[in-house]
Structure formats: structure tokens, C-alpha cells
Structure 1
Amino acid sequence: MKVLTLSFVALLFSVSLVTQAFAHTTVEVEQFEIEVGWGIEPPVVGFRNDFVFKITEPDENPGLKVGVKNAFKSMQATAKFGGVTKVLDIGSDPRPGHYFSHVIPTKTGSYSIHLEGEINGTPIDIDIPVEDVESTAVLDFPPTSGSSSDQDVAALKSAVSSLQQEVSSIKSGSGIDVSSEGAAYDYAILGLSIAAAAIILAVIALIKRK
């Protein structure tokens, strides 16, 4: 009997842990309870995931809830990221009241779902935030010391520094006749190379900032 009791307590404890692991957002609209979140958590940029929905209403038996069938018959779900939006294609889970929409998040940051329409005659118009999408660093193992873009920036900085030294060498006249046509041509090419490297460096820095 003691073994059964301890097993039951352990089961309840494990269930509570599983429930806490899902960072879903639940809202209530009149008699309906709407839960929205990610199918895989934490959500990571660039990896396929799902927006998942659970929509329930009170059952005939007090204290129980039942899944709402065909909840999206007259309701639309729109994913929002900043000023960008996308109307979602909703699929039905075999379990009543459970729905999903496939997605690959392409940016880290905050996402939300806007539901608009009606469920069985009840108007719905609400924004529901979901867990922020994180970079791959949250799953990287072993952790990387620096990203490839950081390495590219370092390499370009080194190249620019080297070119600047060569230009300085030409200006000082160390072994090169700057008055000659060939030296002038070399000087122009080096100047253009520095400009091109600087532009590439600026582009990479801009991409990293986004």
C-alpha cells in the first residue's frame, strides 16, 4: 500500500513538472479557454516548429472541460512579428480542441498570435503572446567561441589593415617610384581594394545588428 501511495505521489509530481515545462499562454473569452504556444520549446530560430492551440469550453459535468471542434471554422489566426504578419493555415489534431500550424521562425525575438472571428457565435478578437524565439546558442553543444560572422569581420579588418600598410609604404616611396604610371595604377588599385573591404565590413556589421 505504501508503495502504491508513493508511486501515485511521484506520478503527480512528475505531471506537475511536465505542465510547468510548457510556456503556453492561456486566455479566457467568455466560456472559452484558449491556450496558445509552441509545439517545441524553447523555440529556436531556423528550426521547424508549430504554433499549437488548445480551445476548450465547460463540459456538462461540473469542473470538466471539453475540446471545441471546428473552432477555426469562422476564426482566423495571424502570426505577428514586429510589423510583419502572416495568416496561418490551421490543421486539426486528432484530439478534439487541439490545432496546429507549421512554421519555421526566421528571426529571434517576440512573436504573438492574433485570433479574430467567432467561435460558435462568440466574437473573438485578441492578441496572444507566445514564448520568444531564441538563437541556436541555447542548444549549441559544445558552445562556440564566436560566430562565423565574427570571424569574417576579424578577417576583413586584418585585410584592411594590411592594405593600409601597403598604401603607406607606397606613399613613403620605399623602393617604388610613385611618379611612374605603373606605381600610380597600383596605388589606385590598392585604394579601391580598401574601399571594397570597408563596404563589405559595413554590410556584415549591419547584418549582425538585425
Structure 2
Amino acid sequence: MKLRALVLAVFVVLVFSVLSVTVFAHEGREAGDYEIHFGWRNEPAYAGLFNGPEVYVSLHDAAEGEAFPADIEVALQAEVTFGPETTTVTFEAAWGETGHYIADLIPTLPGDYAFRVFGTIGDTEVNETFDSADGEFSTIQPSTDIMFPAAGSIDLAALLTRIEELEARIAELEGN
């Protein structure tokens, strides 16, 4: 019985370890009296799938689990860079979660993305750069890594031939 309890305890610790890695796949920085944690909304992140950057903001001296004060205005944007291309997204408050801000983005290509997060938290100016190449949050992976069945596993020419055969057979049956 003791061995069973020990195995269960080890299993629980392992599960929570894996979950905490997923939850904390974000990069943290200090900005004045605030801490900001940045990463993708869904990690690991895949090309062609709905995602977007997210920012968690907390007071630097806040107790664990303490809610971010709703009266502090947060106005943040992110300049997103992939290779020579850039776009800007605006963070919006996540519904029902004070201190959590999200923006929508579908990363179209695998690779490293850089984000310059800028704006204000209260009276504090924010201008921080986060890069997935640093390894603190997910690099965009090819969506073929999770696709099933594998793209190209269906022979389109064979399907078209079969459709033509069936259409001919239907026409033959309708004629009788």
C-alpha cells in the first residue's frame, strides 16, 4: 500500500511539473513597479493556427495570486517582426482576468518571431523586446508536426479518376 501511495505521489508531482512548464512558457521582465510576462497564448505554437501574443501584468510587490488592480490603465501594443516584415497588434483585456492582455495573430510561417511591446502601464512607459529565438517562449513550429493524415497522403488524381468512373456508372444506370 505504501508503494502505491509513493507511485501516486510521484505521478502527481510529474503531472504538475509538466503543467507548470506549459503555463510558464513566458518571458518575464520588470517595468517600473510592474512585472510583465510575455509569450504566445497557445504553446507550443504552430504556423497557420489561431494564436497571438499575451501579456500578464502584476504589481512588482504583489502577493502570490493577488489580482491586478482594475483602476490601473494598461495600454499596450506589440510590433511583431518576422524576417523583414512587421505588423502591429493591440492588446485587449482578457475577459474576466485582470492583468491579462491578449492580441489575435495567426503566425503563417514557422520560425522565430520578435515582439516589441510598447505603451504604458499606469504612468510607466513600457518598451521591451521579446524574441522567441531566446528560448523563453515557443518558436513557431510547422503545423505538419501535428497534422493527420499527413498532407499529400491523399492521391488527388486517383480520387478524380474514381469520381469520373462513378459518374459514368451513375449515368449508365440512369439511362437504363
Asked whether the two chains share a fold, i.e. TM above 0.5, the reply is yes
Quote the Cα distance in structure 2 between the aligned partners of 1:71 and 1:83. Answer: 32
Q: Aligned to 1:88, what secondary structure does the other structure show?
A: strand
Task: Deviation per CA, 1:32-91: give whole Å up to 9, x if none.
Answer: 221111122221111111212111114565x66543545533x33222212322221322
What are the Cα deviations for residues 74-111 of structure 1, in whole angstroms up to 9, with x where unaligned? x3322221232222132211111111111111122111
- 1:134 and 2:135 matched: no
d(CA) in 2 for partners of 1:4, 1:113:
46
The equivalences for 1:148-159 within 5 A come to: none
SS at match of 1:137: helix
Q: Which amino acid aligns with 1:137?
A: T
Alpha-carbon separation, structure 2, partners of 1:101 and 1:112: 15
Cα distance between partner residues in 2 of 1:49 and 1:60: 29
Q: CA deviation at 1:26?
A: 1.7
Q: CA separation in 2, counterparts of 1:79 and 1:68?
A: 28
**Distance change (3 Å), C-alpha of 1:46 and 1:126:** same
Unaligned runs of 5+ in 2: 133-137, 156-176
Identity of aligned residues (%): 23
Higher relative contact order (CA 8 A, sep 6+): 2
Change (3 A) 1:65 1:9: farther
Q: Output the CA distance in 2 between the equivalents of 1:142 and 1:17.
A: 27
Which position in structure 1 is the counterpart of 2:90? 89
For 1:89 and 1:60, locate their aligned partners in 2 and report how far apart those are by CA, in whole Å: 26
TM-score (normalizing by structure 2): 0.65
Alignment pair present for 1:115 and 2:117: yes
- Among 39, 42, 54, the residue aligned to 1:40: 42
Q: Which aligned pairs between 1:1-210 and structure 2 lie closer than 5 A?
A: 11-22=12-23, 23-59=25-61, 61=63, 65-67=66-68, 69=70, 71-73=73-75, 75-93=76-94, 94-130=96-132, 131-143=138-150
Q: Equivalents in 2 of 1:4, 1:58: separation in Å? A: 39
- Would the alpha carbon gap of residues 126 and 5 (structure 1) be closer, same or farther in structure 2, given more than 3 Å must change? same
How many residue pairs align between the two structures? Answer: 144
Secondary structure (helix, strand or coil) at the match of 1:21 reads: helix
Residue pair 2:41, 2:51 contacting (<8 A) in 1 also: yes
Q: Give the 3 Å change call, closer, same or farther, for CA 90–118 of structure 1 in structure 2.
A: closer
Alignment RMSD: 3.1
